[in-house]
């Protein structure tokens, strides 16, 4: 091996369907001082040989200072999505076009590639964030741009679909940022291919079915209910339809004709006897509307006084979204949707969507949503966007089916990079213990994204508040503050390493960060057991700014030595699993409210204790107290309530108060969003 002393060149093709013959664009990387070896290992001399090298990638022309995200996104004309599909060896039979820049990839791809090998599987988490976020999505995209456009690797980015709530609210979009984005940015952040709308429709159909059933049961006899549920055909004969046999089986009734049921069996079959106080299913919409956090329904004159209090959640908090993210096939989704529990009967038995007869209809509404959406990054690398479950009451990860498709498409030696919501204590923990359990997939590398800003906050810096200027402590050098805050990073590294994966720390560099501060983070990360720690500038430079991260991730994947380890076995009791997670936070114990104790006893009695745990707590601290920074220990974790998403497949304890319907701030993001009526372009998205 020799050391390179000259800039390294390799071939990148900026191609479209009309210019595939023009293969002469060169990108240049000049190795940093003392780092020639790192580049020499992974990059070969320029050559034009195998078809695997022919990629639809784009050379970015970056500007400084970095323009607004939407301006960058609008400055690039995306490749036709068929070109992105072609690079993944997808033929037109494998996808349905949604305009020029999006396509739904069909699940049949998994079956066709069943015998082929998987690529490397990488999850991106983060340290405990500030309210401003530390750039996990941007890092995920930037890394994939580096792997695909600079390191000649097959790569697919797997991301959640953003909700319109934060897009129009306070947070803005979730397409990445700067020169590491998914495009078209406006389509990514708005309707996309309608999956969230399908979830909204399915969720609200089930909500309507619940109240309608209660209404009709309250006004009809058992016989009348049975006659209407199983009406006679033209020959005067009554029969059960397919979904009714699911309820009959659940009730232990083996008879196949309605006429054969005894009066007692008719009552059991026809009357769900839902306890209104036990209903957990709410209506949803994909907008932040604080005035729907508590509502009263049934006030119309025709509802016969059947008034009850309920609420709206935001659509991404629907259990149907969690089902979409965790399903492994269309048949599996059908079963999960049917098993969703909406409440209990007055006798204490769980009532499901299939009991209401609506599981099949929900599946019909979701039949297209199960297919992930293919998009692209600014540099032309492929992206699969699918599902967007809440990262608090759900597991906050994109879908299993997208990951499975992507791993087959990139093949051995390729990379699939997916992001886990919130800090690694929540998102990565749920990725490992819930998502990987249901998928059977094993990650080789976990990235932890950090910033000097967040580490200074954990070291004792002033509060970071969204919408307010940063305190001077965050824009001037203070190595001691950074080093003190690295206790948070070290805790995340330790927790993540325990799953058997190699951990790479990605430090998102800001212009105000000093070399001394960055070196302090790198040294602390390596001392805490990280496989590597890399300074990244992908926000300002695109994939070129994440090449070192790509090299570190490739090495980490190639050198993993341990099997995947879960934090707890499923045969633990509900409390034992909760307490295992609490210990990983640093808690010395767990305190259960009377309501939590009651719910745990009920779920155990109903046979749901074997499900994994999806802890719902603040993302701003390892503890339940958002103001506790660093890595607190010795605290007692309070469990306020325990709820269940049976169809999705997890129990979720509530630590503190979790809002499932965000509110709009005084100045929402929608103030800046408009349409240029001359060009038709969206402006103001962030």
3-class SS letters over 558-609: HCCCCCCCCCCCCCCCHHHHHHHHHHHHCCCEEEECHHHHHHHHHHHHCCCC
What pLDDT score does 38 carry? 32
| Nearest by Cα to 226 from 206, 205, 248, 211 | 248
In 298-438, beta strands by DSSP E: 308-310, 312-314, 341-344, 350-352, 373-377, 382-385, 415-419
Cα separation, 573 vs 19, whole angstroms: 61
- Residues 6+ positions from 65 with CB-CB distance below 8 Å: none
Query: From CA 384, how far away is CA 188, in angstroms rounded?
Result: 11
Query: How many CA atoms lie within 13 Å of 230's alpha carbon, on the beta-carbon side?
Result: 22
Calpha distance 512→469 (Å, rounded): 14
Residues of the chain below pLDDT 70: 1-55, 165-174, 668-669, 671, 686
Mapped onto helix, strand or coil, the DSSP state of residue 308 is: strand
Q: Which among 605, 590, 671 has a CA at the least distance from the CA of 644?
A: 605
**Strand, helix or coil at 95?**
strand
CA distance 150 to 645: 42
Instruction: State the Cα–Cα distance between residues 105 and 424, nearest whole angstrom.
Output: 29
The DSSP element (H or E) to which 90 belongs, if any, is none
Using H for helix, E for strand and C for coil, what is the string for 613-658? ECCECCCCCCCCCCCCCCCCCCCEEEECEEEEECCCCEEEEECCCC
- In whole angstroms, give the CA distance from residue 618 to residue 657: 9
* Interhelix angle 263-270/222-229, nearest 10 degrees: 70
Q: Which helix (H) or strand (E) holds 390?
A: none
Of the candidates 370, 380, 430, the residue with the CA atom closest to the CA atom of residue 404: 370
Q: Residues 431-468, buried b or exposed e (16+ Cβ, 10 A)?
A: bbbbbbbbbebebbbbbbbbbbbbbbbbbebeebeeee
- What architecture does CATH give domain 69-193+368-559? 3-Layer(aba) Sandwich (3.40)
- What pLDDT does residue 53 have? 41
Cis peptide before 599 (omega within 30 of 0): no
**What is the C-alpha to C-alpha distance for residues 596 and 617, in angstroms, rounded to an integer?**
15
CATH number assigned to the domain with residue range 574-654, chosen from the 4 options 3.90.1640.10, 1.10.760.10, 3.10.410.10, 3.40.50.300? 3.10.410.10
Q: Cα torsion for 539, 541, 543, 549, to the nearest 10°?
A: -70
Domain segments of the chain as ranges: 69-193+368-559, 197-363, 574-654
CA dihedral (38, 42, 46, 51) in degrees, to 10, reads: -160
Contact 603, 609 (CB under 8 A): yes
User: Could you identify the residue written with the tokens 């430079």?
Assistant: 541
H helix or E strand, kind and range, residue 27 = strand 26-29
Q: What is the 3-state secondary structure (H, E, C) of 126-193?
A: ECCCCCCCCCHHHHHHHHHHHHHHHCCCCEEEEECCCCHHHHHCCCCCCCEECCEEEECHHHHHCCCC
The span from the CA of 330 to the CA of 369, in Å, is 10
What's the N-to-C CA distance of the chain in angstroms?
Answer: 46
Q: What is the pTM of this model?
A: 0.88
> Strands 95-97, 502-508: parallel, antiparallel or unpaired by DSSP?
unpaired
- What whole-number distance in Å separates Cα of residue 238 and Cα of residue 226? 10
Residue 102 CA to residue 183 CA, distance in Å, equals 10
Name the residue with tokens 């479950």.
389
Backbone angles phi, psi at 310, to 5 degrees: -150, -155
Half-sphere exposure of 447 (CA within 13 A, CB side): 37
- For residue 320, count CB atoms less than 10 angstroms from its CB and return exposed for 0-12, middle for 13-18, buried for 19 or more: buried
CATH code of the domain made up of 197-363: 3.30.1510.10
């Amino acid at each position: 091996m020799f050391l390179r002393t000259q800039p390294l060149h390799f071939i990148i093709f900026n191609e479209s369907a009309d210019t595939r013959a023009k293969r002469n664009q060169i990108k240049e990387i000049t190795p940093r001082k003392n780092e020639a070896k790192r580049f020499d290992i992974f990059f070969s001399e320029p050559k034009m040989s195998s078809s695997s090298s022919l990629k639809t990638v784009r050379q970015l022309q970056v500007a400084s200072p970095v323009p607004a995200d939407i301006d960058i996104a609008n400055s690039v004309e995306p490749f036709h999505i068929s070109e992105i599909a072609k690079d993944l060896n997808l033929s037109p039979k494998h996808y349905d076009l949604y305009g020029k820049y999006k396509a739904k990839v069909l699940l049949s791809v998994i079956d066709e590639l069943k015998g082929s090998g998987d690529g490397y599987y990488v999850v991106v988490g983060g340290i405990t964030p500030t309210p401003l976020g530390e750039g996990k999505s941007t890092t995920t995209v930037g890394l994939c741009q580096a792997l695909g456009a600079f390191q000649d690797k097959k790569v697919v980015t797997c991301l959640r679909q953003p909700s319109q709530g934060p897009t129009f609210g306070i947070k803005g979009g979730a397409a990445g940022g700067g020169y590491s984005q998914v495009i078209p940015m406006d389509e990514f952040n708005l309707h996309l291919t309608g999956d969230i709308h399908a979830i909204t429709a399915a969720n609200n159909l089930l909500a309507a079915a619940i109240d309608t059933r209660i209404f009709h049961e309250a006004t009809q006899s058992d016989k009348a209910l049975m006659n209407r549920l199983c009406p006679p055909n033209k020959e005067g004969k009554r029969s059960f339809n397919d979904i009714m046999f699911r309820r009959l089986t659940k009730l232990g009734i083996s008879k196949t004709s309605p006429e054969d049921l005894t009066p007692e069996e008719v009552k059991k079959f026809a009357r769900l006897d839902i306890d209104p106080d036990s209903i957990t299913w709410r209506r949803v919409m994909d907008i932040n509307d604080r005035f729907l956090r508590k509502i009263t329904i049934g006030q119309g004159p025709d509802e016969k006084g059947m008034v009850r209090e309920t609420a709206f959640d935001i659509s991404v908090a629907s259990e149907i979204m969690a089902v979409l993210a965790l399903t492994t096939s269309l048949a599996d989704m059908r079963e999960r949707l049917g098993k969703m529990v909406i409440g209990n009967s007055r006798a204490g038995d769980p009532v499901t969507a299939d009991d209401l007869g609506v599981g099949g209809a929900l599946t019909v509404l979701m039949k297209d949503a199960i297919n992930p959406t293919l998009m692209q990054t600014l540099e032309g690398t492929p992206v699969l966007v699918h599902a967007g479950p809440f990262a608090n009451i759900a597991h906050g990860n994109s879908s299993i089916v997208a990951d499975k498709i992507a791993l087959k498409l990139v093949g051995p030696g390729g990379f699939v990079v997916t992001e886990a919501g919130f800090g690694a204590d929540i998102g990565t923990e749920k990725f490992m213990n819930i998502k990987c359990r249901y998928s059977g997939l094993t990650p080789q590398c976990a990235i932890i994204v950090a910033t000097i800003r967040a580490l200074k906050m954990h070291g004792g810096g002033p509060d970071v508040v969204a919408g307010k200027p940063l305190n001077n402590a965050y824009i001037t050098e203070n190595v001691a503050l950074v080093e003190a805050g690295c206790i948070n990073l070290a805790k995340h590294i330790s927790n993540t390493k325990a799953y058997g994966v190699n951990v790479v720390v990605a430090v998102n560099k800001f212009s105000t960060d000093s070399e001394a501060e960055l070196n302090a983070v790198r040294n602390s990360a390596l001392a805490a057991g990280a496989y590597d720690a890399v300074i990244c500038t992908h926000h300002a430079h695109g994939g070129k700014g994440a090449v070192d991260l790509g090299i570190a991730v490739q090495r980490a994947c190639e050198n993993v030595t341990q099997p995947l380890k879960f934090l707890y076995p499923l045969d633990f009791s509900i409390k034992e699993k909760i307490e295992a997670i609490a210990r990983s936070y640093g808690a010395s114990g767990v305190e259960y409210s009377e309501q939590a104790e009651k719910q745990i006893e009920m779920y155990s009695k109903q046979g749901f204790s074997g499900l994994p745990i999806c802890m719902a707590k603040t993302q701003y601290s390892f503890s339940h107290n958002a103001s506790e920074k660093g890595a607190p220990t010795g605290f007692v974790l309070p469990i306020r309530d325990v709820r269940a998403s049976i169809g999705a497949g997890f129990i979720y304890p509530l630590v503190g108060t979790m809002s499932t319907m965000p509110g709009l701030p005084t100045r929402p993001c929608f103030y800046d969003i408009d349409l240029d009526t001359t060009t038709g372009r969206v402006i103001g998205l962030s």
